[in-house]
Structures are given as structure tokens and as C-alpha cells.
Amino acid sequence: MTRKMQKWLLAPYSVWAFLFMIVPLIFVAYYALTDNDYNFTFENIRKFFVTTSSVTNDAGQVSEVHTYILIFLRSLKLAVISTIVCLLLGYPMAYIISQSSPRAQKIFITVIMIPMWMNFLIRTYAWMTILQDTGILNGFLGLLSLRPVHIIGTEGAVVIGMVYDYIPYMIMPIYSVLAKLDPKLTEAARDLGCNSVGVFKRVVLPLSLSGVVSGITMVLIPSISTFYISQKLGNGKFYLIGDAIEGQYVANNLHFAAAIALILMIILLAGMAVMQHFADIERKLEA
């Protein structure tokens, strides 16, 4: 096939990518930087950083806070916690799957994928019925004559929901890297004097870092901008940046919603760039 033909065959995809990926981004930026009359303005961006509101803490003290920065930091905190939990649970899971027989691997992967075929809202509702004060979990604890736990409406519940939703995105990229790892490399490491810990630390982990980085990316980004989970499992107490965008959109403040989305995107891009930079440095140090 000639290069020219390849180009033509790729054309439909290029058009598709332009229409559904580039154009929407342009619109987001356009809305973010215009007012209701579509005049150019930085007002929406400014609003994100300067809007304040009063909050009352548990002790009854009232304080002024930067509303959206607070919401953003809260989103970031929950997303980071969820990502760490996903990594701590997902890596061993991915490792175990990659070490099992080909048949077992297929079964494991299917089991992990099945929940993803169900609607996201239904999965969230399922967690509500499990975690409620009178829900399945507490019913079960009651059967064991243990004290009931209060989870729903806490940050913990939001994290559980996020981890459940996003852990497949952590497991899959790590698994696919580990499954491709040449078993001869671990044999070579053992041959050269490594015990199991050494094999993992010096060969398996460094060679699976690319999977870890894409896993972190694929979990952190959607979980930072998630909404709805916090509304349902957090009883609306933990208003997240995704909820804020949705709220402004529903309230017909399209321009401000777009501005929040744009700022979030830029912060995430910057974060990714920093992470990539450190990954590169690490690779260079290793070499």
C-alpha cells in the first residue's frame, strides 16, 4: 500500500476526530472566554478564582472561602485517594491475573469487565443500597452481631464508589503490560541472584511502570471530574468540580460551566506534563 493511499484511507478518521474531538474543545474554549452576548471576556475565568462564600464548620465558626478553589481541591483530594486505593488494589490483582493460566486470565478479565457493561447510574444506586445505614452491609454486620457502621454520606462512601467504578481502568493497562512481560526476564533475574522480592523490585516493577502511569492517568482524570457519585453516595455533602460544572450547566450558565471545564482541563494537562517529566527523569536516572 502506498503512503498516499494510506493517507486517503485515514481521511474519514481525521474528519471524525476533527468533528467530535477538536470542534467541541474549540467550543468549550469559545464559551469559556465569552459572555452571554458572545463578547470576548476573561470574566468567567476570573470568577472561578475570586468567588467566595461563607461556610460554617462543625464547631459553628463561619469563614470565608474561595468557593471553586475549595471545590477543586476537594475533588483533587478524593480523586488522589481513589487513585491510590485503585493502584494498591489493582496492581496485585493485575499481577495475579497475569500469572494465572490463559483460561483463568480470560475468566478474570471478563469478570472485571462485566460491571462495566452495566449503567453507571445503576451501579451507583446499587452501592447506595449496600452502604445505607439500613442497607445490605449493615444487615450483614447485624447477622454477625457486629455494630453497624455509618458509611453513606461520608467521604469514604464516595471513595468506595469511585474505586469501584474506575478500578478496571487501573487493572487493564497494568495487566496488559505484565502479561507481555517475558517470563525469561524473571528467570534471568533469579538466575543472577534475586529472590522473589528482588525480582519484583528490580525487574517486574520497573518494566510495568508504563502500565502504572497509564493506569493512574486513566483513573485520576475521570475521577477528578466525576459527578453524581458524590451526590448519591455522599448525600450531596461533597460538592465536587464535576457537580459544579453540571450545576452551572443545568442553571443555564453555559459560559461559566465552560470556563470551569477549561480550567480543569488546563490544570490536568499541566499535571500530566509534570508527571511525564518525572517519568522521563526517572528513566534517565535508571539508565
Partner 1 sequence: MKKIIELKNVSKAFDGETVLDNINLDIYDNEFLTLLGPSGCGKTTTLRLIGGFETPDQGDVIFMGEKINDVPPHKRNVNTVFQRYALFPHLNVFDNVAFPLKERGLPKAEIEEKVNEMLSLVALSSFAKRSVTKLSGGQQQRVAIARALVGQPKVLLLDEPLAALDLKLRKDMQQELKKIQKATGITFVFVTHDQEEALSMSDTVVVMSEGKIQQIGTPIDIYNEPENAFVADFIGESNILDGVMLEDYKVRFSGRTFKCVDFGFEKKESVDVVIRPEDVDIVPEQEDLLSGVVTSVTFMGVNYEIIVDIKGFKWMIQTTDFVDVDEHISLKIDPDAIHVMHKSEYSGLYGDYSSFSNEFDELEEIDESEDGE
CB of 225 to partner 1, least distance (A): 33
CB of 196 to partner 1, least distance (A): 9
**Minimum CB distance to partner 1 smaller for 64 or for 191:** 191
**Minimum CB distance to partner 1 smaller for 118 or for 188:** 188
Nearest CA to 241 out of 255, 229, 251 is that of 229
Give the β-pairing of 52-56 and 62-66: antiparallel
Burial profile 140-150: b = 16 or more Cβ within 10 angstroms, e = fewer? eeeeeeeeeee
Task: Please report which helix (H) or strand (E) contains residue 231, including its range.
Answer: helix 229-233
CB of 287 to partner 1, least distance (A): 5
**Minimum CB distance to partner 1 smaller for 146 or for 185:** 185
CB of 103 to partner 1, least distance (A): 15
String of contacts with partner 1 for each residue 184-223, x by CB under 8 A: xx-xxxxxxxxx--x---xx--xx----------------
**Minimum CB distance to partner 1 smaller for 136 or for 205:** 205
Query: Which residues ranging from 146 to 185 are in contact with partner 1 (CB under 8 A)?
Result: 182, 184-185
Beta partners for residue 34, in sequence order = 40
Query: Which residues ranging from 244 to 283 are in contact with partner 1 (CB under 8 A)?
Result: 283
Task: Please report which helix (H) or strand (E) contains residue 64, including its range.
Answer: strand 62-66
**Residue 20, SS3 per DSSP:** helix
Beta-carbon count within 10 A of 95 CB = 18
Beta-carbon count within 10 A of 282 CB = 12
CB of 181 to partner 1, least distance (A): 10
**Minimum CB distance to partner 1 smaller for 103 or for 147:** 103
User: Does the CA dihedral 215-218-224-227 come out positive or negative?
Assistant: negative
Q: How many amino acids of this chain bind partner 1 (CB under 8 A)? A: 20
CB of 183 to partner 1, least distance (A): 9
Task: Please report which helix (H) or strand (E) contains residue 63, including its range.
Answer: strand 62-66
Give ∠ CA 130-134-135 in degrees, rounded to 5. 15
C-beta of residue 185 within 8 angstroms of C-beta of residue 207:
yes
**Minimum CB distance to partner 1 smaller for 10 or for 192:** 192
Contact between 4 and partner 1 by CB under 8 A: the answer reads no
CB of 182 to partner 1, least distance (A): 7
37, 58, 64, 286: residue in contact with partner 1 (rule CB under 8 A): 286
Give the footprint of partner 1 on this chain (CB under 8 A). 182, 184-185, 187-195, 198, 202-203, 206-207, 283, 286-287
